[in-house]
Amino acid sequence: MNFIQDFFDFFIPRICPSCKSKLDLTEEIICRKCFLRLNRVSEEKILTEFQDKFKKDRIVSDFMSLYYFEKDKEVHNIIHEFKYNGKFRIGFFLGTLLACNLEAKIRSWKIEYIVPVPLHHIRRAERGFNQSYFIAKGIKSVLNIPIAANLLKRHRFTNSQTHLSIIERRENVKDSFLVKKNKKISGKNILLIDDVITTGSTISECGKVLLNSRAAKIFAISVAIPH
């Protein structure tokens, strides 16, 4: 296996998506130096984020995230390479990190389906893939929970949310999603996956339609949240 990897590395060197240095044989996806610099979210931060983003709406029962999303830092660089340069293996790797680090929490939620936050089909065609789906695949590979990728549909195209306020974001994603297979989710606990959860409005909107279709409980996980 190492010989084969060595052989490929010689012709197509594997590069760290953050610092762009060449990966050695023992490094997977991200170099060791950048990996050690990934800034993990504290438990206190998770609690205040849950309070701020989800508690009032009572749609999402609990949520977790692993890293801080800070401009020009490692997590930002890695997610950018993943989303905008088509490096979907990074997404799978991030999914495995989520699952390994948050396994006890996720197991305690008794999840029946993992649902990646869907993209509108125009955006998916632009990007070539749905980033959340690859994160979900990484989680599944560790925890063996089935993915229901076609359960939700994003039927309304929304412009980028980057420069919108919390209220504008909420308005922007309102009624953007619908449930395609109602019967499947009745009484089930669902785990929503996104790369970055910023205001939580996209997750809440997805959760709302799932609860309206009689899902039991909604949980959410992202790779990162803003600092």
Between 18 and 222, whose beta carbon lies closer to Zn ion?
Answer: 18
Pick one of 16, 75, 190, 193: the residue that binds Zn ion (CB under 5 A): 16
Are the CB atoms for 161 and 169 separated by under 8 Å? yes
Closest CA to 172 of 155, 153, 157: 157
List 189's β-bridge partners, or say none. Answer: 217
Q: Please pick, from the candidates 29, 34, 106, 179, the single residue that binds Zn ion as defined by CB under 5 A.
A: 34
Is there binding between residue 38 and Zn ion (CB under 5 A)?
no
Distance CA 185, CA 172 (A): 26
Phi and psi at 224, nearest 5°, equal -145, 160
- Least separation in angstroms between residue 73's CB and Zn ion is 12
Closest separation between CB of residue 76 and Zn ion, Å?
Answer: 13
Q: Cα 160–71–66 angle (5° rounding)?
A: 90
Q: Which DSSP state fits 40?
A: B
Report the nearest approach of Zn ion to the CB of residue 34 (Å). 3
Q: Which of 7, 19, 25, 146 binds Zn ion (CB under 5 A)?
A: 19
What minimum distance in Å lies between the beta carbon of 65 and Zn ion? 22
Q: List residues near Zn ion by CB under 5 A.
A: 16, 18-19, 31, 34
